[in-house]
Each structure stands twice: as C-alpha cells, then as structure tokens.
Structure 1
Amino acid sequence: MTEPKILLFLHGVRDKNDRADVAESRWREPLFTALKEAGYENLDEFQVIAPNYPDLLRDMEEKVKVPPVITKKAANDNRRRYEERISALEVKLGHSHLGRGKFYQETLVKGVVNFDPLNQAKQYIEDKQTRGALLSGILGLLPESGRIVIVGHSLGSVVAADLLSRLPEGLHVDGMVTIGSPLGSQYFATTDLKKELKEPPANLEWWVNFWATGDPVTATRGLSASVPWVLDLAVDTGINPLKAHLSASFVSNPVVAKTIGYALLGSTSKDLVMSESSLDVPINDQERLAILGLRFIFLLEQELSTSKKAKDSYVRLSKVRKIVQSQIMGGLIEDRKKHQEPIPTELIRMSMDLGEGFEMGTPTPDEIRNLFNHDPVKVLPGLFASNPIAPYEIEIGNDIRKQAAKKLTKELGLTSKYAEEVLDALEKAEKALDERKLGRVWILGAAAVGVTAVVAAPIGLGLTLAAPGLYGGAAVASALAAFGPGGMIGGLYSAGALLTAGSSTLAFSLSNLGKSAEEIEEMLILPLAEAQLSVTRNLQPDPSIWFDIVEAEIQLQRQHEHLRAFNDSKSALLSELERKLKALGKAIAFLRELGLDPGFEDTETAQNGNSSSQLRELFKGFKSQ
C-alpha cells in the first residue's frame, strides 16, 4: 500500500504561550475550507505534520550543529526538466500580478527583528546552533522516504529553504510553497543559504513563492531576485500590515490554496472538465494562419528528428512547440468565447493543458490545404524568413528549413518548387541589401515585423488573444502569444499584406527615426522578396511596394537634410540616416531591375504634392490604358 503524501507546514513567529492545536487551527481551517471551495474533496488522503518550535528558538540549552547538505544539485538536464515543470505550473496558475509595495516596508523589515516577538527570526538567522537544533528536530519527524509538500510561512519559509537540501535522499518534494517570506530582504539573505539555493535541488519538483503588497515582511518584492528559479506570484491579502502577513490571509487565497492542493492531490475535477462547446464549424482566416505557423514548426521538428547531429535541438524544439501551441490554441479558443462564437473542433483537438506537464504528447497541427483569402506570395516569405518560435532560439540548419518548407508548400497544393522559389527570393532580397548577412537560418528578427503592431487594428487581428488570468499580457510581451509583434505574426504576415492595410504603413515605419538602420534593412527584405517571387512566378507585382519605399526615401531624405543643417558633422544620427538611405536606394535599384519602376520620376512627382496613394492610382490608370 502506498504511503500517504505528507503536508509539512512550517509556521512563522509564534508566542510560546500559544497552544499548539489552537495555533495550528489558525492556518489549517482556512486552508481546508479554501481547498474544498477549489474542488478538492478527499482531504484525508494526506498526512499533516506541523512542528511547533517557539520554545526551541527562545530558550535553548542544547546546541546542535546544522545538518549537512545531502541532496545533490540538479544537473543540466534536470535543470531543464525543472523549468518545464515550473512553466507548466505557471500556465496553470497564471502570470504574477506585480503589485506596488508600500514605501515603509523595507525600513520596517529591517527594524522589526529588534522587537521581542520577532527575536526568534533574528536568532535563527544569526545562530547556526539554533538553526541546527530546529532543522534536526524537524528532520526527526519525517520519514526516510516518500513524498512531501512543504508550506512555509514567514520564518517558516526561511526554515523550509534551509531544510530543502538536507532532506533524506529518499524523500521527494512534490512542491514547496512559501508565503509571507522575508527571504527577499537583504537582512535575511544569509550567505551560505544563498549559495545552497543557487540551483534547484534534484529532489524538488517546483517552488512557488507568494508575496503580498500589503505585507511588510515580504520587503516589497518576491524571492526571484535572490533565488532566480523560484516562481514569484503576488496575491492580495489586504492593506492592514498585521493582517496582510497572517498565514490565514495567504492560505485562504484561492490561488495559494489551488497551488497547495495541486501539489498534494493533483488537478481537481473542475480542472479536468473539457469544453463541450466545440462544433464542426470552419476555422477563420486568423486561425488558419496560426495553424499554418504551427504546422511549419511541426515539420521542422520532424526533419530534426531524423538528424543524428541535431538530437538536442529536436528535444528542445519539441518542448517549445508544446508551449507555443498550448498558448496559441488557448488564445484562439478564448477569443472565440469572448465573442460568443462556436469553437471549431480543430482548435479543441489541437489544444492541451500545459499545466498537466510536458510528459503528455503534443497534438499534431492540421495540414492547411488552402489559404483561401491569403495570398501565398505575401504569407510564405515571412513564414520562411522569420523565427516562428521567437523568443526561443534553436539552431536549425538551412537544409532542414528547406525540406520543411517544401513539405509545407506541397501540403498547400503549391508543389515543392514553390518553396525553393520563396527561399531563392529571400536570398536575392537579402543579398541586394547586404551580402554579408547571407547564410543565416532566420533572416528576420522581431524588429522587422514590429510594424505589425501599427496595422493590427485595420487588419483585424487581436494582439491580446491569450486567456485573461491564464496567460495575460505577459504572453504577448514574451512573443509567445498567437499574434504578438515579433512572435508568430512575424512568420505569418508578410510586409506585402501590411501594405494592403492602407495609410502607407510600410512607408511610415521605414521613415521612423526610432528604427535603426539594421531594422530598416530587415524590414525591406519581405517586400523585396515578395516582388522577386511575383516576377519569378509571372504574377503582377504589387505596385504599393515601389511607392511605399520611394515615399520612405523622400521622408528620410528630408529628415537628413533638415538635421544636417544643425547637427554636428559627425553626428551619429546623421550617419544612421545615411545608412538607411543607402538601404532604401539599394531596395529601389533592386525593384528597378525587376521592372517595377513605373516609368516616370516618382520623386519629382511626389515632391510636387502627390502622395504615394495618388501615385498608386496614377499607376493603376497607366496599367489599365
């Protein structure tokens, strides 16, 4: 028979006159109530060990040495697995809400240790023999093997951190939760303890620290500044400094209770309910692009799996695809729910609960057989040129990218030759701008597609698709959301598509003084590649490409001349503008070679008052005659 899991609760500062059972009820009753409200029913399935130690810290006669460190630090592969577990838990709990602390808190933390009620904390930190006696006492209550969950409040969080690497080798920590911890304060940062916590111990599944902005003991911050691998989450425990620090105020919080419950009992029945609102309805254009990007990542993963030299890259990419696919599908489903639209079966099939861990397989993204309203000339160059898993960076050879691109175009019914033409167009566009950059796997960085944010509203794409409370704005900021600038949108929406949004979006971005010359060079690659691909396939090139680049050149030239009249001759800004103008000149020369020059002097026409939109109409008129 399997031994029951143990909940080890380590309390904070306590009056020696407090009865142990009364003191325990102050945290136990609110925690068990919150667990039941969260959907946990079988609360008798685990054993509670709650040592009581106020006297031990106050009046010690026997001195004991600190027990030795037993648990080995995690190796590199274990460190990665720890990050997988903490990432999965982060998805389940949501990103931290970083509240604003109170100005008096750090001063208060430094001062309260001199008050008699908190002398215990000072004694534990400064007296190694006291530490030894307390740690030895706790270890004596624990079995040599089994599974435990540690919850440490206030001083108890310091004890928990100290205890972590001294546990018996056979005792596995399924999760550690610290609440109201002073470990983030400089005063409590003991040198030896900080060294011991440099890496997560191999016996630990994860560590989550909850802090509250109204709690003076948490020193206005979490623990991750001192222990980087800890997941910090802020919760609201009220504004009264005394009540905000109570263990009951923390454990009654739904998120804290859910975290403890998950460590003890796993997911609740509420978590496991699958949406039944999925219907056999078609995916929309936005969803089609997202699935296309995921399909390309999957094909890259397949190609890597056959390469003996890329085994590590394959393992990492498979983990990253799980993260990206979970967040994208979750965001698309939440967007459907938000607009009270039926959810396509395809989205449900490809979704997964990342919170259940990385061991579960990742559903294969569906093949996209038709882009419908999207022009492959505008979509595919961006997809093949930019990193579809940004901000993750995994080396993938050009040969692997080429094979994955061929498979994708064949699935689209475009033949494998189409992929070769797209990649050739990208290479020629890059070479026209800067031959030194040839040979890179991913040509474009986030900056090249940052213009997307400007035109997201006209196009109708949502930049915050991630589920509120689940991923939040951090998902978009990290470029993992479905359509965040520099994330999936970079690979799924080319500059050619941006041009159709109107308002000379590309021209505006290219002439933006805030953009560096390198960013301008990267932004030019996609429209040039689109023009090259159109010519290669005997299609009518989009005239907007020419006119927007010409308009950007006019605007930048004007900025340069204006600043040249007042700036120092060696001005860095002038040098940067000259590099931008050089890049635009190369782009225009490239388009002329392709025959995109409308056949009249655009610059002179524009300077006489014609905007690029007027030039487009004029050019259309010439074409129709």
Structure 2
Amino acid sequence: MAVKVVFLHGIGDGDPRGGWLEGLNRGLTQAGYEPIDRANTLAPRYSAILSTEGIGAKMPPVTYRVKDDSKARFEFARRQARIQRSLGLPSTASGLGAHLMPDGPLNTMQGFAVGHLSAYDLTQVRRYVRNEALRGAVLRHLLDQDFGDEIILIGHSLGSVIAIDLLDHLPENIRVRRFITIGSPAAAPSLHEGSERLLKRFPYARVDDWSNIFNPADLVTGGRGLAPTFPAAQDFAIDIGFLEHGAGNYLGHPAVANLVAQITYPSKSLVLAKSGIAVRLTDSQASLLLLLHYGHTLVRYIKDPAAAARYAGALRLRQDHVVAEIEEFATVGQQPLAAELHQLIDGGVPTVPHLWELHEAVGELAVLALTNVVDPYEIDVDRAPVQAIPAVAFALGFSTDVGEKVVRAIEDVQKALDRRGGVPWGRVLGAAAGLALLAAGPVGLIAAAPVGGAGAAAIVGGLAGFGPGGMVGGLAMLGGLAGAGGALAAGAVAGGGDEQSSALDLKTLVLRVTVEHARKMLDLPFDQNLWYQLADAETRVCGQINLFEAFSDPKSPRLAMLREIEDSLGRLMTFVIANGLAPRSIEAGDEVRLEAQEPDPAAIG
C-alpha cells in the first residue's frame, strides 16, 4: 500500500495502544476490506510536549505559496461532490441528542466526562491555539516524521486542530490524498478569540478533499460542523452514540471506514460493456446531451475569463453528477446505453444528435436560452446565454438565423413583461416584479424507464437534483400545455397553490408565448389556442384576488404576488394580440362584432 495513514491523536496520553487503528480495522473488515497493517500507518505522539511547561519552538515556515490555485479549487469541489454522492450522509446535524446537551456555551461548560476526558475542558486545545511557541514545537515534531509522498491524514479531537494547522506547513512533495477530521472542536469560537485563525488559506493544490465527521451528541464538537469556520470542510453527521467521542468508534463507522478504503484499496474504474446492438437515445436523453452541449458552447461566449473559468468548473461538477447517475442506471438496472452516453461517461461532450424537426428545435432553443445550466450556482455571464443560441441551432442542423430569431422572440416577450425595459441576461431573468423565469430549471434530463432491481430508479431521483426542474424536459413542458393540458396548467396558476407554484406556471405560459412567437417569425404553424389559455389563467387569478381581498391584509405577500401575476398575464395577452398570435376574432375585437351587425355595402349594391 503506497499511501500511508497518518493519525493525529487528541488530548490525553496519545493512544499508545492504537485504539484508533483497532476501530478503523473493525470498520474496514465489516465493509469487506483487509485490515491495515500498523507498518503502513504513522501515529506520532506529542502529549508530552502539550503537557510540559517551557517547551517551545519557532513556527515552521508556510510551504504552500501557490499564486493561483483556482483550477485546483474547482477540481477540489468536484472531488468533494463525489464524496457526498458516495457516502449519502446528511451534512447537517439531525438534532440527535440535542435535547440532552447541557445548556451554556462550549467554552464555559465543565465536568461532562467522556471516558477519562472532560469533554468541555478544552484547556489543552486553547493552549495549543494561543501559544505560538507551543504550536511551533508540536508542528516541528510532526514535520520530523517520515510521512512518505502520499498520505491519508486523520485528526481526532485536538489532533484535528493540529492537522488543520499542519496542512500549509507540509513539505511540498507530500500529497494529502484524503483529509479526515473526526470529533473536532475546531469550530468553537473560544478557540479563535484573541488568536491567529488557523489555516488562513486552504491548500487546494495539496489536499484532494476534506471530510469532517461529527457526532451531533458529541459534546466536544458542540453538535456543529466545521464548514462555517473552514469553508473547505465538508461536514457529515453520524450517530455513534450519546456523548460518544472516542476515535475508535468514529473510525469504526462504515462511512469513515469507506472513506479510508476508497484511497487505500481503490477499485478499478468500472468499464461499462458496450453492446453490439445500436441503442437509440430517448428524447429526454437527447435533451440532456443538448443541455450539456449548450453549456459548453456558452462558456466560449463569456467575456470575463474568471467568470468563464468558474462557469466551466460548475458545469463539470454538474456533468459529473449526471455521469454518476448514468453509470448507476447502466450497472444496477442492467440497461444498455447509447454510444453518445458512453462518450459522455468517457469525459467527452458528444455531438448533438439531429433528432428534432424545426418546430421542435425552436422550443428546445427557447428553453435553453432561459436555463441556468449550472444551477444552483449563479454566475453573471452577461449576454452569453443568447449569444450561444445561434451556434447551438447550427449544431442541431439548422441555420444560425433560426437561433437569432429565437433570441429576438425571447427579447420581445421579456421587454413586454419588464416595466423597466431591457433584458437582464447576466442575472436570473425576471418577469414583472422579479418573478423568476426558467433560469433555475434545466431543459431535459435523462428519463429512464422503470427497471427492476434495487436502486434502478436512482437515476430518476438522483438527477432531480440537477436543478429545480428535475426530470421535466423542454418539449415535455411545452407539450404538456397543449390543448387540455393548457387548461390544467392555467387552473394550477389559481388553483389554491402557493406563490411558488403560481410563479412556476406563469413561467411556463411565458415560455409558451415565446415559443409560439418564434415559430410565427419563422413562418411555422403556431398554436392560436394560446390566447384562451392565458385568458383562462387570468380569469382564475382574478377570482383568487377577489376572494383574498375580502379577508387578507391589503399588503399581503400572497395578494401582491397574485397581482403581479395578473399584471404579467395582461401584458402577455396584449403581446399576443399585437404580434398576431391570437385568433382573428380576438384580434379584431369590437370590429368583428360591428361587422356582424352592420350590412355589407357591397352586398347591398
């Protein structure tokens, strides 16, 4: 085993019997792995330094001096996301044992014993943090050890504080393949008051990932994680028992043992078998590939290099999640994959399939332009979302003019809705008083048919996290509003749902108007029944307003939202008439009725 497991102990005698390793090996064995030999570990003891007065040394130099580690930070975030997917643990405390925790802040509580330790007696920890000479002595003692080139660094209790402090002092040749803190008190405010903050700059290019494991009923942790204090830490709450703080119990937990096993016993990457039979993409899978292609295309149009780099990093993170779900779908569900999906798994961005007719592509392009592909991350990319649309239209097999007209249609509708004028492309697009449009919902994600076996439907649930839109595809959304579906959607606008559901359905109607407008601009057939769906929605919303006004406060947030929806619907209806999207009888208005009443002069003649 090339990677060495380094364990930094907490307060006390330094765990000379190796209880930490016994606990870790118990967890590894239970998970089906071989135990780790002591020869492949390093557990330096420094308890004598901590307990002896007068010992001190100059702090070792900071060895992490990378000027720009933004790329390393993006890759760090991707690895953190993989860990979160693999562990499936909550990142926040469940409240377990919170009602049994004693009252009072962490730095004033005394006397709650855990084994031989007073859990709230953090004197040694505070002394280490605030006494620079003592810190220097401990760190220099550790740096004299033979770490090797690659390590898994585990810090327990006080040892977690020391481990955090050690990261940017390590020799440049050492790579921390995995950083794990357990039972850490490092978030306690009292440790940082009147002292230099530990680890001012996290060494993203040196440390692959950081998982902080805490027991909510462990008094030393105060029931809190480290992320509020150290942004690089990813917190995971586990249950190892009330008041339990021992390193062996932490390391024996399956989640922690698996974290170690992933590095010490790495499994070979699974190569998915490729069927000799050609597998056709489903419509939703094709929409997924189009969505990712659009995201990669959009990056090329972001003028700010820093924003482009952040967007590309966030896109890769989202793509990693999709690939993980596809792999699970293929392995657990025993489902063959289309060649394009294999290409995606191999790290590429497949060529966009030419599966859409022109009238369908218009809908997909409109949804793309109003989609934040990297949701939930919000990055100001200026006009890049619409500048990329003509190139994507060309990739779909159509002229760039198709994309340009879709962009014009979007801008026309947005201007009609926005009282201030203009289209705020760089931020979440708004209708009326800031109602979110589709900037938070993806176009179309993989919609796998139900298959047998445990976890076979995981792809459906997992990909729902790829943005609030979940599994709803752009065309599916549009198709669902056609005919009777439109009446249902319009009814949902005012059917007693909350403001969020009302706004969502308004978004859908805005999209419908946009798509039909674009289709008319391209001389394609468009749906004139759209007017009746808008009118039905307006009638229902006004009915709700009339009902709520009788009892609610005049400035009720719900009333305000409904009035904004009413205003937006009115603007949409005006736009539909002005742009020839309504039935002729509606466009003509009173003139039609007058024509029906007055005799035709030509007929008289």
TM-score normalised by L of structure 2: 0.77
Q: Show the counterpart of 1:504.
A: 487
Task: Note if contact 1:380-1:494 (Cα within 8 Å) is conserved in structure 2.
Answer: no
Task: Note if contact 2:363-2:475 (Cα within 8 Å) is conserved in structure 1.
Answer: no
What per-residue deviation string (whole Å, max 9, x for no partner) do you get for residues 300-319 of structure 1? 23x34xx8x54434433332
Decide which of 362, 371, 375 is 1:390's aligned counterpart: 375
- Residues 503 and 583 of structure 1: is their aligned pair in 2 closer, same or farther, counting only changes over 3 Å? closer
Matching of residue 287 in structure 1 with residue 282 in structure 2 = no
Q: Counterpart of 2:295 in 1: which secondary structure?
A: helix
Q: Show the counterpart of 2:596.
A: none
Separation (CA, whole Å) in 2 of partners of 1:405 and 1:366: 16
- Residues 157 and 546 of structure 1: is their aligned pair in 2 closer, same or farther, counting only changes over 3 Å? same
Q: Show the counterpart of 2:110.
A: 111
Q: Show the counterpart of 2:225.
A: 222
Matching of residue 177 in structure 1 with residue 186 in structure 2 = no
Task: Note if contact 1:378-1:494 (Cα within 8 Å) is conserved in structure 2.
Answer: no
- Give the unaligned 5+ runs of structure 1: 353-361, 605-625
Task: Note if contact 1:390-1:487 (Cα within 8 Å) is conserved in structure 2.
Answer: no
Q: How does 1:442-591 map to 2 (within 5 A)?
A: 444=429, 447-449=436-438, 476-477=464-465, 481=466, 484-486=467-469, 495=478, 497-499=480-482, 502=485, 504-511=487-494, 514-515=499-500, 523-566=508-551, 574=559, 576-591=561-576
State the shift of 1:323 in Å: 1.8
Of 282-291 and 568-577, more deviation after overlay is shown by 568-577
Q: Show the counterpart of 2:311.
A: 317
Task: Note if contact 1:40-1:268 (Cα within 8 Å) is conserved in structure 2.
Answer: no
Task: Note if contact 2:517-2:581 (Cα within 8 Å) is conserved in structure 1.
Answer: no
Matching of residue 431 in structure 1 with residue 415 in structure 2 = yes
What per-residue deviation string (whole Å, max 9, x for no partner) do you get for residues 401-451 of structure 1? 555322322333332221122112112211222263424336747943499
Q: Show the counterpart of 1:64.
A: 56
- Residues 327 and 163 of structure 1: is their aligned pair in 2 closer, same or farther, counting only changes over 3 Å? closer
State the shift of 1:40 in Å: 6.8
Decide which of 191, 197, 202 is 1:200's aligned counterpart: 202
Separation (CA, whole Å) in 2 of partners of 1:573 and 1:316: 36
Letter in 2 for 1:200: F
Letter in 2 for 1:248: G
Q: Show the counterpart of 2:215.
A: 212
- Residues 91 and 386 of structure 1: is their aligned pair in 2 closer, same or farther, counting only changes over 3 Å? same
Decide which of 233, 237, 250 is 2:236's aligned counterpart: 233
- Residues 201 and 538 of structure 1: is their aligned pair in 2 closer, same or farther, counting only changes over 3 Å? closer
Letter in 2 for 1:419: G
State the shift of 1:220 in Å: 1.7
Matching of residue 414 in structure 1 with residue 398 in structure 2 = yes
State the shift of 1:571 in Å: 6.1
Task: Note if contact 1:113-1:122 (Cα within 8 Å) is conserved in structure 2.
Answer: no
Task: Note if contact 2:187-2:226 (Cα within 8 Å) is conserved in structure 1.
Answer: yes
- Residues 105 and 130 of structure 1: is their aligned pair in 2 closer, same or farther, counting only changes over 3 Å? farther
Q: Counterpart of 2:110 in 1: which secondary structure?
A: helix
Q: Show the counterpart of 1:260.
A: 260
Decide which of 77, 83, 88 is 2:79's aligned counterpart: 88
Q: Show the counterpart of 2:298.
A: 300
Q: Counterpart of 1:248 in 2: which secondary structure?
A: helix
Separation (CA, whole Å) in 2 of partners of 1:515 and 1:570: 18
Separation (CA, whole Å) in 2 of partners of 1:468 and 1:155: 43
State the shift of 1:553 in Å: 0.8
- Residues 252 and 500 of structure 1: is their aligned pair in 2 closer, same or farther, counting only changes over 3 Å? farther
State the shift of 1:363 in Å: 0.5
Q: Show the counterpart of 1:597.
A: 582
Task: Note if contact 2:12-2:47 (Cα within 8 Å) is conserved in structure 1.
Answer: yes
Letter in 1 for 2:198: E
Q: Counterpart of 1:100 in 2: which secondary structure?
A: coil
- Residues 576 and 268 of structure 1: is their aligned pair in 2 closer, same or farther, counting only changes over 3 Å? closer
Decide which of 20, 24, 32 is 1:31's aligned counterpart: 24
- Residues 580 and 38 of structure 1: is their aligned pair in 2 closer, same or farther, counting only changes over 3 Å? same
Matching of residue 52 in structure 1 with residue 45 in structure 2 = yes
Task: Note if contact 1:495-1:506 (Cα within 8 Å) is conserved in structure 2.
Answer: no
- Give the unaligned 5+ runs of structure 2: 590-605
Letter in 2 for 1:140: D
Task: Note if contact 1:93-1:259 (Cα within 8 Å) is conserved in structure 2.
Answer: no
Separation (CA, whole Å) in 1 of partners of 2:233 and 2:142: 23
Decide which of 265, 269, 274 is 1:272's aligned counterpart: 269
Q: How does 1:154-169 map to 2 (within 5 A)?
A: 154-168=157-171
Letter in 1 for 2:249: S
Of 388-397 and 36-45, more deviation after overlay is shown by 36-45
Task: Note if contact 1:452-1:485 (Cα within 8 Å) is conserved in structure 2.
Answer: yes
CA RMSD across the alignment? 4.3
Separation (CA, whole Å) in 2 of partners of 1:313 and 1:186: 34
What per-residue deviation string (whole Å, max 9, x for no partner) do you get for residues 186-207 of structure 1? 45455535x2334313644432
State the shift of 1:350 in Å: 0.6
Task: Note if contact 1:381-1:423 (Cα within 8 Å) is conserved in structure 2.
Answer: yes
Of 444-453 and 582-591, more deviation after overlay is shown by 444-453
Separation (CA, whole Å) in 1 of partners of 2:440 and 2:379: 24
Task: Note if contact 1:379-1:492 (Cα within 8 Å) is conserved in structure 2.
Answer: yes
Q: Show the counterpart of 1:9.
A: 7
- Residues 468 and 323 of structure 1: is their aligned pair in 2 closer, same or farther, counting only changes over 3 Å? farther
State the shift of 1:473 in Å: 7.0
Q: How many residues align?
A: 560
Task: Note if contact 2:28-2:261 (Cα within 8 Å) is conserved in structure 1.
Answer: yes
What per-residue deviation string (whole Å, max 9, x for no partner) do you get for residues 433-476 of structure 1? 226342433674794349989x99xx9999xxxx8999997874
- Residues 496 and 318 of structure 1: is their aligned pair in 2 closer, same or farther, counting only changes over 3 Å? same
Q: Show the counterpart of 2:97.
A: 102
Letter in 1 for 2:422: L
State the shift of 1:334 in Å: 3.5
Task: Note if contact 2:415-2:423 (Cα within 8 Å) is conserved in structure 1.
Answer: no
Q: Show the counterpart of 2:595.
A: none
Letter in 2 for 1:255: A
What per-residue deviation string (whole Å, max 9, x for no partner) do you get for residues 579-601 of structure 1? 43222112112212344434667
Separation (CA, whole Å) in 1 of partners of 2:516 and 2:344: 35
Separation (CA, whole Å) in 2 of partners of 1:170 and 1:236: 36
Separation (CA, whole Å) in 2 of partners of 1:371 and 1:37: 51
Letter in 2 for 1:280: A
Task: Note if contact 2:542-2:566 (Cα within 8 Å) is conserved in structure 1.
Answer: yes
Q: How does 1:337-356 map to 2 (within 5 A)?
A: 340-351=334-345
Q: Counterpart of 2:117 in 1: which secondary structure?
A: helix
Letter in 1 for 2:534: I
Q: Counterpart of 2:311 in 1: which secondary structure?
A: helix
State the shift of 1:112 in Å: 4.2
Separation (CA, whole Å) in 1 of partners of 2:502 and 2:552: 19
Letter in 1 for 2:367: G
Separation (CA, whole Å) in 2 of partners of 1:596 and 1:439: 22
Separation (CA, whole Å) in 1 of partners of 2:526 and 2:561: 30
Q: Counterpart of 2:363 in 1: which secondary structure?
A: helix
State the shift of 1:178 in Å: 1.0
Q: Counterpart of 2:155 in 1: which secondary structure?
A: strand
Letter in 2 for 1:556: V
Task: Note if contact 2:493-2:502 (Cα within 8 Å) is conserved in structure 1.
Answer: no
